[in-house]
């Protein structure tokens, strides 16, 4: 089996940014800036640009497909995707039409990461009950994979009207719109991705990435158990690249602190400190530093976990547009070629084939 | 005998997610005989347990309760009310759950519990001896921070509960899992161990943890 092609991308949640004097930009200006950032990403050789989905005052990523379509019109090569689409509270038919159309206008460059979402503001917003968290995602992923794989679809479920022998347009060319399942560490979610035979995207926003190795093994063994071929695995983590380690720390730290201070207040997390920031840089999940520092860390994590995709959630928080552009430039021109070089010397090892557990039932609902 | 200090090394875990499998792995590593359940039949979690906590036995929740006197409750907080009220009768029940509004939704009873969410759990399971513990350190610390008794740099985990014998049994478990155990006092003092509480989410030595939980005592 040949190693899967490497994909080194960027993720953004569309943070509201500030200008050079620290004043927040207007939402429309912020959205246009992100389009410009994606255009630069394309020109410096970054493989993909992926936009999140939130409905909060400080995130402008509520309609990723519209931004991605604008980017598609101004780029030629870069893949255009999400990070992640909260499928639980969307209509899979609408997600299909939006992204199959994006695939057409971008000449085959659309991709998706779908997940349950780690923030849950979309549930009340769209009239869903958080108590149905598991069931909603399961049902919607089922319908979405059917739309991707075997149209016409005859389907019925609990949360939307049934479909009978339904074609949904536009039809996708075979193999288009690769759809990954985003997980945050729940073993049940890993097994579900394997059950559908979909590639796995690990969202690792803190702590040592090596702790995900057992989940990688679980994913491979579950794929085997369900009789699916090996699938690629990716990881999403936060980072910032500058000329030197010190410059990267100086630029990113205040915005990281501000962002996680807010999360600490809202979610009861430990307060951010410089000590924690430096510990995350050294042994955890922050990719912050010079191109060499960041490339070395990305390559070693990709090798450790057997990843073929890495998405840098670049410039956490309100980092100004100009400094976002600078980090994109360095990531594309210096980090990515260096990661490829490092992995060419020591390629991502194939995960050893492991035994198939006889105990997995054919149709568990996890 | 039920849960006073004992040579018994049997542990039951209800919940086979991130937290349940992590505690199972640590307990297996400490020589415990571990039975673990997810929602529904045992075969639904067989592969997960085999990979993430090899040596633990995937069983039904009823079998977990039969297996041990010491049981960890590690289901998503918004689901604990699905379990029968008398399920844990006479057992020491370690409430390792945390209430996250972002994940569990708005739950006025949990959000407004003055004595913390474990008091609500105790009210739900009146015949169990609820101890709040294993909830305040990041789950991956269970893998990377376990140390033998007396080792330098060992970090601490607190336990809060009204039944002192149950707290003692949980503190013995904590020590055997590889952490210093700190008595946090009665169940409602467990509010300090929750998200937004004084000690949540960071690693402390036993001395630091005690100082944070008992500031008056340590400054005296």
CB contact under 8 A, A217 and B105: no
Tell me what pLDDT residue A142 has: 98
Max mean pLDDT among A3-17, A38-52, B32-46 falls in A38-52
Average pLDDT, chain B: 92
Tell me what pLDDT residue B12 has: 98
CB contact under 8 A, B140 and A186: no
Tell me what pLDDT residue A348 has: 64
Query: Per residue in B128-187, pLDDT tens?
Result: 999 999 999 988 888 889 999 999 999 999 999 999 999 999 999 999 999 999 999 999
What one-character-per-residue DSSP string does B74-120 give? -S-GGGGGGS-TTTTTT-EEEE-----HHHH---HHHHT-TT-HHHH
Tell me what pLDDT residue A119 has: 74
Give the closest-approach CA distance of A69 to chain B in angstroms.
31
Query: Per residue in B23-62, pLDDT tens?
Result: 999 999 999 999 999 988 899 899 999 999 999 999 999 9
CB contact under 8 A, B43 and A211: no
CB contact under 8 A, A359 and B140: no
CB contact under 8 A, B51 and A217: yes
Comparing CA positions, the residue from B90, B98, B89 lying closest to residue B15 is: B98
Chain B residues with beta carbon closer than 8 angstroms to that of A269: 195, 201
Least trusted range by pLDDT, from A255-269, A332-346, B82-96: A255-269
Average pLDDT, chain A: 92
In this prediction the ipTM stands at 0.88
B10-41 burial, b for 16+ CB within 10 Å, e for fewer?
A: ebbbbbbbbbbbbbbbbbbbbebbbbbbbbee
Residue A136 has pLDDT above 80, yes or no: yes
Tell me what pLDDT residue B1 has: 42
Residue A362 has pLDDT above 70, yes or no: no
Tell me what pLDDT residue B218 has: 58
Tell me what pLDDT residue B141 has: 84
Chain B residues with beta carbon closer than 8 angstroms to that of A357: 46-47, 50
Nearest CA in chain B to A118: B103
Label residue A130 by pLDDT band (50, 70, 90).
confident
Residue A75 has pLDDT above 80, yes or no: yes
With H, G, I as helix, E, B as strand and everything else as coil, classify residue B185: strand
CB contact under 8 A, B17 and A120: no
CB contact under 8 A, B47 and A225: yes
Label residue A4 by pLDDT band (50, 70, 90).
low
Q: Which residues contact A26 (CB under 8 A, 6 or more apart)?
A: none
Burial class (CB in 10 A: 0-12, 13-18, 19+), A184: middle
Label residue A214 by pLDDT band (50, 70, 90).
very high
Interface with A, mutate which of B28, B45, B47, B99 (most A CBs under 10 A): B47
Give the closest-approach CA distance of B64 to chain A in angstroms.
19
Tell me what pLDDT residue B4 has: 45
Q: What is the mean pLDDT of residues A207-213?
A: 92
Tell me what pLDDT residue A354 has: 39
Q: Which of B18, B47, B100 has its CB closest to that of A185?
A: B18
Tell me what pLDDT residue A120 has: 81
């Amino acid at each position: 089996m040949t190693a899967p092609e490497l994909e080194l991308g960027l993720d953004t949640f569309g943070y509201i940014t500030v200008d050079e004097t620290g004043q927040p930009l207007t939402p429309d200006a912020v959205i246009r800036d992100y389009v410009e950032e994606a255009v630069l990403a394309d020109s410096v050789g970054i493989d993909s640009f992926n936009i999140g989905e939130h409905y909060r005052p400080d995130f402008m990523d509520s309609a990723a497909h519209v931004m991605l379509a604008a980017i598609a019109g101004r780029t030629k090569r870069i893949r255009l995707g999400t990070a992640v689409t909260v499928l639980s509270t969307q209509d899979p038919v609408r997600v299909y039409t939006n992204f199959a159309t994006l695939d057409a206008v971008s000449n085959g460059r659309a991709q998706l990461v779908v997940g349950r979402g780690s923030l849950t503001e979309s549930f009340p917003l769209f009239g869903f009950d958080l108590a149905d968290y598991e069931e909603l995602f399961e049902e919607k992923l089922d319908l979405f994979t059917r739309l991707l794989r075997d149209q016409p679809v005859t389907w019925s479920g609990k949360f939307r009207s049934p479909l009978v022998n339904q074609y949904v347009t536009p039809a996708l060319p075979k193999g288009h719109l690769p759809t990954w399942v985003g997980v945050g560490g729940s073993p049940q979610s890993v097994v579900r991705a394997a059950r559908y035979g979909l590639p796995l995207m690990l969202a690792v926003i803190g702590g040592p990435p090596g702790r995900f190795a057992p989940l990688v093994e679980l994913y491979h063994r579950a794929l085997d158990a369900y009789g699916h071929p090996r699938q690629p695995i990716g990881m999403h983590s936060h980072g910032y690249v500058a000329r030197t380690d010190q410059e990267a720390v100086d630029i990113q730290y205040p915005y990281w602190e501000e962002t996680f201070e807010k999360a600490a207040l809202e979610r009861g997390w430990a307060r951010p400190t410089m000590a924690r920031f430096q510990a995350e840089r050294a042994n955890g999940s922050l990719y912050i530093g010079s191109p060499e520092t960041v490339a070395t860390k990305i390559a070693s994590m990709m090798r450790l976990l057997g990843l073929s995709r890495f998405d840098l959630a670049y410039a956490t928080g309100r980092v100004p547009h100009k400094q976002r552009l600078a980090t994109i430039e360095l990531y594309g021109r210096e980090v990515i070629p260096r990661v490829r070089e490092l992995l060419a010397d020591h390629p991502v090892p194939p995960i050893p084939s492991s035994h198939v557990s006889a105990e997995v039932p054919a149709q568990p609902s996890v | 005998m039920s849960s006073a200090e004992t040579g018994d090394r049997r542990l039951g875990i209800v919940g086979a997610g991130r937290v349940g499998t992590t505690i199972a792995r640590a307990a297996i590593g400490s020589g415990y005989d571990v039975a673990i359940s997810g929602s529904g039949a045992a075969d639904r979690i067989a592969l997960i347990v085999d990979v993430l906590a090899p040596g633990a036995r995937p069983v039904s929740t009823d079998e977990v309760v039969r297996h041990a006197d010491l049981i960890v409750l590690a289901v998503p907080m918004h689901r604990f009310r699905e379990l029968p009220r008398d399920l844990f009768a006479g057992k020491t029940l370690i409430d390792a759950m945390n209430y996250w509004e972002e994940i569990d939704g708005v739950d006025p009873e949990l959000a407004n519990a003055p004595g913390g969410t474990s008091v609500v759990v105790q009210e739900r399971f009146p015949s169990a001896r609820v101890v709040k513990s294993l909830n305040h350190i990041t789950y991956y610390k269970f893998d990377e921070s376990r140390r033998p008794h007396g080792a330098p740099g060992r970090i601490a985990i607190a336990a809060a509960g009204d039944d002192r014998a149950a707290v003692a049994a949980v503190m013995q478990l904590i020590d055997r899992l590889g952490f210093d155990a700190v008595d946090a006092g009665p169940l409602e003092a467990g509010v300090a161990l929750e998200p937004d509480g004084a000690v949540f989410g960071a690693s402390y030595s036993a001395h630091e943890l005690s100082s944070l939980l008992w500031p008056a005592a340590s400054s005296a």
